[in-house]
Homo-oligomer: A and B are copies of this chain.
């Protein structure tokens, strides 16, 4: 039995996978996002809950994989700059802490990479995909030919900070017109305010379905930028399938329809792009399992099997 945790800004989702990869238990607990010590404690609690759910002690688990937003060092299992969790530039020794307190091997991975590995496992026959994660941040995870691509400096898939318009709005990164500055959850909430940043995309889509003219316009613009992101992925790594995931993608089918429509408008007049059949290659991330937690568990299993091989 192996555990996976997806540590998000407000909640931590966990799964236990059996040796065949099937989900045997799931948990959902609040994340303590007010700094390193609280985060370590809430992660240990989530792991204990998971172990209890399958009648084991944490130390009886094969390992735990943890997906977390931030700059992860996969070699030593530390994380820095998990800004939404109150973790600053000092490395937080997440893997070492879990091993010490719970007696279990731990592997840490960036949350988008973990979700991409989990989505790839769910799709089964697809060995080549990108997961465009649209949430507080925007980034793509890449599984190319069955292998997670992290890049030479861990920057593979960081397309949230590709500037697509030098005259676009300023981005937190210091550039202008980055994807993240126009399609992230907070960017959508600025254009379509709701109570709390989460749910802005869902509210926007609902208003557009009621034919609110300003919602239709804002949704068209957001979908247009997401279409540009899909084209960007196609003209760089050209993965078989491009999945929309993250909090914004919880707006679901109507958002997907808007992105497909925007893609059609964008690629129609461009002979180079039309044959790429992009509208058909874009899908929503599977929502039947928590892909981030599943992927974290699978990556941990893969890493440990290499380590002992």
Chain A residues packing against B (C-beta within 8 Å) = 128, 142, 144-145, 147, 149-159, 161-167, 173-175, 228, 231-240, 269-273, 275-277
- Across the interface, do A174 and B237 meet the contact criterion of CB distance under 8 Å? no
- Across the interface, do A175 and B238 meet the contact criterion of CB distance under 8 Å? no
- Across the interface, do A174 and B269 meet the contact criterion of CB distance under 8 Å? yes
Residues of chain B with a CB closer than 8 A to A152's CB: 128, 238-240
Complex Cα spacing A70 to B273, Å: 15
Residues of chain B with a CB closer than 8 A to A269's CB: 174
Residues of chain B with a CB closer than 8 A to A270's CB: 161, 173-175
Q: How far is the CB of A286 from chain B (nearest CB, A)?
A: 19
Residues of chain B with a CB closer than 8 A to A142's CB: 237
Complex Cα spacing A253 to B149, Å: 32
- Across the interface, do B155 and A234 meet the contact criterion of CB distance under 8 Å? yes
Instruction: Name A174's closest neighbour in chain B (CB-CB).
Output: B270
Complex Cα spacing A142 to B269, Å: 27
Complex Cα spacing A228 to B166, Å: 11
Extra contacts, 7 of them, besides A155-B238, A162-B232, A237-B237 (Cβ < 8 A), are: A151-B234, A155-B276, A158-B235, A159-B236, A161-B235, A162-B236, A167-B167
Complex Cα spacing A277 to B152, Å: 11
